[in-house]
Amino acid sequence: MVINLEKSHLLYIAGLIILSIISVYVLIVLPHGVPVPQLQEHFYLLGLGLNSTILLWTISGYLLLRWIRTNKKNKSLLIWSISFLVYSITFVAHIFRAIGFPIANENLSVFHFFLWRWGMPCFSAGILYGILEILTDNKKLQQIPSISVLILGFLWLILGLFIIPSEDPIEVTMYLFLYTIWIPVCFTMAYIFTFYGYKAKEIGPKLVGLGFFILMISYHGWAPWHFEEVYYLYYLWYFLFLLSLTPILLGFVLMSFEESHD
């Protein structure tokens, strides 16, 4: 078969021409980038926040697409999709904080912290409910643990930020929430997905389990590294969190292919 290169690959040829023009311009002019003073202090926060948001939105969008393509039968997909979208609020705030919006600074006050962190207990409860919805048909076993996590999560936020006397209420809240709600839920998700993958002999659930396990470890790093004198090392744990989202996304994608071939 003879292919008409001029018509079939017109976009490719046009792309090469545009790239050639840009390359010649760069080689001749050697342009310098424009400084952005707002990013000098928090450029790393912009990068980490932006990448985290994109990955969380991608996971959320993919799960929503899967829910639609499976005739909206698997409610867990919708719940997980909403959970990841809500969770991304925290990282959207990091983006706006990095580019100079003071209102997006979660450490500015207890009210700002609540504004940008309320999605975390919702994410914990939603993720747990989604997996319980798959594991059991018992409505009480689905709802009671999930609602308990949601109530306890908001309870710790309210108690830690607004009621318990403390020199640093945000720190107290983080300790309470992370080590009684967030980390146990992440470990539970890691175990259930890994166990399911082992029993079903599928790689996808194991990858999701691995992602949640790495996510849990990344939050463990907050406690010893959030102090001012070592805070710069906290961003290494933030980077580890970012990495944790990759196996979660790949795992959900692979699960779809493995399920379709069963």
Which residue has tokens 């959030």? 226
Which residue has tokens 């493995």? 258
* pLDDT attached to residue 40: 82
* pLDDT attached to residue 5: 55
What tens digit of pLDDT does each residue of 62-104 get?
999 999 999 988 999 999 999 999 999 999 999 999 999 999 9
Quick one: tokens of 222? Answer: 């907050």
* pLDDT attached to residue 24: 97
* pLDDT attached to residue 226: 86
Quick one: tokens of 3? Answer: 């292919």
Beta carbons of 54 and 5 less than 8 angstroms apart: no
For the chain, residues with pLDDT lower than 50 are 1
* pLDDT attached to residue 4: 56
Residue closest to 206 by CA, chosen among 220, 219, 185, 189: 189
Q: What is the pTM of this model?
A: 0.91
